Amino acid sequence: MPSHRRPKQQHPRYAGVVTATAAAAVALSAQQAGADPLPDPAKKGVQAQVDRLYEEATQATEKYNGAKERADALREEAGLLQDGAARKQARLNELRDRIGVLAAGQYRAGGLDPSLQLFLSSDPAAYLERAAALERAGERQAAVLRQFTEQRRTLDRQRAEATAKLRDLGAVQKELAARKGEIQGKLRKAQRLLDNLSAKERNRIAAERERADRAGARADLGSEKSVTGRAAAAFAAAQSRVGLPYVWGASGPNSFDCSGLTSWAFRQANVSLPRTSQAQAAVGTRLDSLGDLRPGDLIVMRTDLSHIGFYAGNGQILHSPKPGAKVRYESIARSGMPFMWGVRIG
């Protein structure tokens, strides 16, 4: 027979604890499902805060690199315009002198009314010949004057363009200074956090970093081959830099940030890449699947495309990861950064 006993009632306080625990578990699972791959500083301690600051510094570094690339281009363009204006000014000075010589000659030859000169001339034929020559000289002077006017307009336009470029350069240089201050501020804050740790904790973190660099200096890359010769040459160049330090804004040959390593390596293969990870993510042939990548392909990381390296084979990335680290191999799955897509340079 079925039991008619009433089920045992839970204690109200116990039920509240269970409910709260279940709610917390649901909230935590939902938070984890859409969470940033980086650890939460409030939960993971100083190392997580330092990692977060390093990530923010590398993101700001790519913005700094973009501003520096624009500044370099503006500086070159303004310089070319200024050099061209200087050369044009020299030609204008020569034209002005020629106009002066022609005008003086005309003045000397045309002091009297032409009909009176012909009446008084002892050799009318010779006079008419000189008059025709004088008319031709006047035509030459008019042509020189037209040339002078056209070149003067061009000179004024070049000077205006140079002034605009220099004005833009000034704005970009302000952005550079702001980005530099942002990066340095985050690195100083990270260092202060590390300095406030005990000596034991600092030594532990330093040892972990050294272990990661040592392990990342070698990796089982499998037997995959690069698809293109240029990618193979660039990848080989990057491999020769393993063990060299990350330095923000650096593009080799003895220190690198992430896009500095990839752009330097491809220069060794006679390929010019843009300076930033975001710009490099837009060149070549896009590869959306990790399974399509081969050694030497670029691999773009993070949702804001602020990190880039080389696919090294066997699920590994070769990159310059962050401040305090060295150029190394690392498992893509364990890097803590989401894969976005790959890029193949032909």
Question: Is residue 340 in a domain?
Answer: yes
Query: Can you tell me whether residue 20 is helix, strand or coil?
Result: helix
Same domain, 87 and 154: yes
pLDDT of residue 132: 59
- Greater confidence (137 vs 318) lies with 318
Q: Is 239 a catalytic residue?
A: no
For the segment 323-343, the average pLDDT, to the nearest whole number, is 94
Query: Can you tell me whether residue 329 is helix, strand or coil?
Result: strand
Task: Answer yes or no: are the C-beta atoms of 138 and 147 closer than 8 Å.
Answer: no
Phi-psi region of 316 (alpha: psi -120 to 50; beta: other; left: phi over 0): beta
Same domain, 260 and 170: no
* Domain C-terminal end among 180, 195, 210: 195
Average pLDDT of the chain to the nearest whole number: 81
Evaluate if residue 6 carries a pLDDT over 80: no
Same domain, 161 and 54: yes
Same domain, 155 and 247: no
pLDDT of residue 214: 87
- Greater confidence (204 vs 118) lies with 204
pLDDT of residue 133: 55
CATH number at residue 269: 3.90.1720.10
Same domain, 184 and 255: no
Using alpha carbons, select from 97, 103, 61, 53 the residue that is nearest to residue 259.
61
- Greater confidence (186 vs 127) lies with 186
Same domain, 269 and 188: no
For the segment 286-296, the average pLDDT, to the nearest whole number, is 96
Rounded to a whole number of angstroms, the CA Rg of the chain reads: 36
Question: Is residue 208 in a domain?
Answer: no
Q: Indicate the DSSP class of residue 256.
A: B
Q: Is 307 a catalytic residue?
A: yes
Cα–Cα dist 207/275, whole Å: 32
**CA 175, 180, 184: angle at the middle one, nearest 5?**
150
pLDDT digits (tens, 9 = 90+) for 304-316: 999 999 999 999 9
% of the chain at pLDDT higher than 70:
74
pLDDT digits (tens, 9 = 90+) for 127-161: 556 555 555 555 666 676 677 778 888 888 889 99
For the segment 235-247, the average pLDDT, to the nearest whole number, is 97
- Greater confidence (73 vs 23) lies with 73
Using alpha carbons, select from 304, 302, 307 the residue that is nearest to residue 259.
307
pLDDT digits (tens, 9 = 90+) for 195-220: 999 999 989 988 988 888 888 888 89
Cα–Cα dist 43/36, whole Å: 14
- Greater confidence (4 vs 252) lies with 252
Task: Answer yes or no: are the C-beta atoms of 75 and 340 closer than 8 Å.
Answer: no
pLDDT of residue 280: 97
Q: Which of 5-9, 43-47, 204-208 has the highest mean pLDDT?
A: 204-208
Question: Is residue 6 in a domain?
Answer: no
Q: Which of 63, 241, 319, 326 is catalytic?
A: 319
Kindly indicate the confidence band of residue 107, based on its pLDDT and cuts at 50, 70 and 90: low
**Does the N-terminal peptide bond of residue 253 adopt cis geometry, omega within 30 degrees of 0?**
yes
Same domain, 133 and 51: yes
Domains: count for the chain:
2
Same domain, 271 and 185: no
Cα–chain-centroid distance for residue 130? 67
Cα–Cα dist 328/311, whole Å: 12
Provide the residue range defining the domain that includes 63.
Answer: 46-195
Q: Cβ atoms within 10 A of the Cβ of 53, count?
A: 22
Same domain, 79 and 180: yes
% of the chain at pLDDT higher than 90:
56
Q: Which of 187, 190, 233, 258 is catalytic?
A: 258
Same domain, 59 and 174: yes
pLDDT of residue 120: 45
pLDDT of residue 135: 59
Q: Is 4 a catalytic residue?
A: no
Kindly indicate the confidence band of residue 104, based on its pLDDT and cuts at 50, 70 and 90: low
Question: Is residue 207 in a domain?
Answer: no
Cα–Cα dist 297/175, whole Å: 32
For the chain, how many helices (H) and strands (E)? Answer: 9, 6
